[in-house]
Amino acid sequence: MRPVRPIAAAVAAALLALLAGCATNGSATTGSRHHAGTLTVLAAASLTESFTDLAHAFEKQHPGVHVRLSFDSSATLAEQITQGAPADVLATADTRTMHTVVAAHDTAAAPRLFATNTLVLVVPKRNPGDIETFADIEKPGVSYVMCVPSAPCGALTRQELAADHVTAKPASQEVDVKAVLTKVSLGQADAGFVYATDADSAQDKVEVLPIPNSAKFVNQYPIVAIKGSDRPDLARAWVDLVLSDRGQKVLADYGFGSP
């Protein structure tokens, strides 16, 4: 009996620590470092820079509140929320992915549009594929990358490729827009389709080429508070901040259009 006790105690302690860890992640606010709580915001990968800025502003406005940001493909985030992942706010890069969350009755209110984005073609600064215009991605031997069609950026890319009658196949379909940007800025791919805002964020590594029909294809970004949030007040405040003049200015600074 005796030699088992300490081990059993250690195992129990480890299990408890694990459970406590899960619980902190799980209910977002209960076990957080601050008494004022934590706000969990799930946002499309293309919002990485702008929402990080806004999180700093939000934390200043609400002392003691910690904003937890999670960036991923909108499709992945929507899936996470319908599977019951704890979140207070969701911002996606198109209305299609948002609709799956609305259809699952996981939203606390009607989603509001807060930004728009268009696609551009980016090539690495050294331009290994020697791409001067959009039409050059059809040249033999050129490898271009795009998002998977299930992600908003991929759906938009597919529409534009069809509209411009591009038949060349991509070398890879990446899981989100940041992965596409990485493959291009590393020089691994000759070209890639990313949002205008992402191209902005990597100006020192990539060259931007316009796409002929891009003005016709615009993604609308909706934002919504999630039902069952522990802090509906903070969730609403975040949505308000994004829609406010201040929020809109931050988004515009990063190249987003207004809806």
By the criterion CB under 8 A, which residues form the site for another protein?
4, 73, 75-76, 79, 128, 143, 145, 148, 150-151, 169-175, 183, 186-189
* Neighbouring residues of 115: CB distance < 8 A, sequence distance ≥ 6: 220, 221, 251, 256, 257, 258, 259
The pair of structure tokens assigned to 26 is 């799980």
**Which lies closer to another protein via its Cβ, residue 67 or residue 137?**
137
Question: What CA–CA distance (Å, rounded) separates 198 from 4?
Answer: 57
> Strand, coil or helix: what is 188?
coil
Task: Work out how close the CB of 153 gets to another protein at its nearest, in angstroms, rounded to a whole number.
Answer: 12
**Which is nearer to another protein, 148 or 202 (by Cβ)?**
148
Those residues with Cβ within 8 angstroms of residue 186's Cβ, 6 or more apart along the chain or in another chain: 124
Residue closer to another protein (CB basis): 106 or 250: 106
For the record, the structure tokens of 241 come out as: 């901040």
**Which residues, at least 6 apart from 8, have a Cβ–Cβ distance to it below 8 Å?**
none
CB nearer another protein, residue 49 or residue 174 = 174
Closer of 37 and 192 to another protein (Cβ)? 192
What whole-number distance in Å separates Cα of residue 144 and Cα of residue 34? 46
CB of residue 173 to another protein, shortest distance in Å: 5
* Contact present, 6 and 202 (Cβ < 8 Å): no
CB of 205 to another protein, least distance (A): 11
Q: Minimum distance between the CB of residue 94 and another protein, rounded to whole angstroms?
A: 13
